[in-house]
Chains A and B, each alone.
Chain A
């Protein structure tokens, strides 16, 4: 089975500070990679995704993520946190070898933004 690891179940940053949420995956072959955001009492919404091509991916709301094959990582960043960024963030993977057509999510990181 595919493994998706999000380091840090809770991250707190000050408003205006850099946001860094970490994601590592276990596949030896680059899969498709996603970041989703979940606001309270809502479903998930796609922030950005990597399929092929440019390794730096830009998403909505000023977020971006960089695919690093050598580190099997896909960390999410935002230069300046806003109060509205407070939410749960999930990294997800699909298309890894021997996983069929399954989709795997990490355990999530809850982001708190301190005014």
Chain B
């Protein structure tokens, strides 16, 4: 089954404790993205990747890191999480930038 898998689904952590949210897709897609969803703000793109080893900043990259060492995986790293990073995060992949995006189920992160 074609899918985008994010883990974990829920995470509560403390300020400053490094964490990684994993994202994996099994569709051989080139384009992958991370978004955060906040009430009243919709989805905002954090980082995206056009292909392996090619990543770029989206609208809200501060406080986040990504890597794309393999085509299928695109982890999101928070080196030192802060409470303002409490949000719902989505990973998405698409064959190319302007084709249908497939979304993961989301990761609800709370930083206390």
Binding site for B on A (CB under 8 A): 1, 6, 9, 32, 34, 36, 41-46, 49, 51, 90, 92, 94-95, 100-108
Contacts and interface: CB of A to CB of B under 8 A. Distances in A.
A94 B97 contact: yes
Contacts of B92: 43-44
Contacts of A92: 43
Given A9-B40, A43-B90, A100-B56, A95 B97 contact: yes
B103 A102 contact: no
Interface in B46-64: 48, 50, 56, 58-59
Decide if the interface of chain B is mainly helix, strand, loop or mixed.
strand
Of B33, B58, B101, B105, chain A has the most CB atoms within 10 Å of the CB of: B101
Interface in B92-112: 92, 97-98, 100-101, 103-106
B82 interface: no
Given A32-B98, A49-B100, A44 B90 contact: yes
Nearest to B58: A102
B72 to A, nearest CB: 17
Nearest to A32: B98
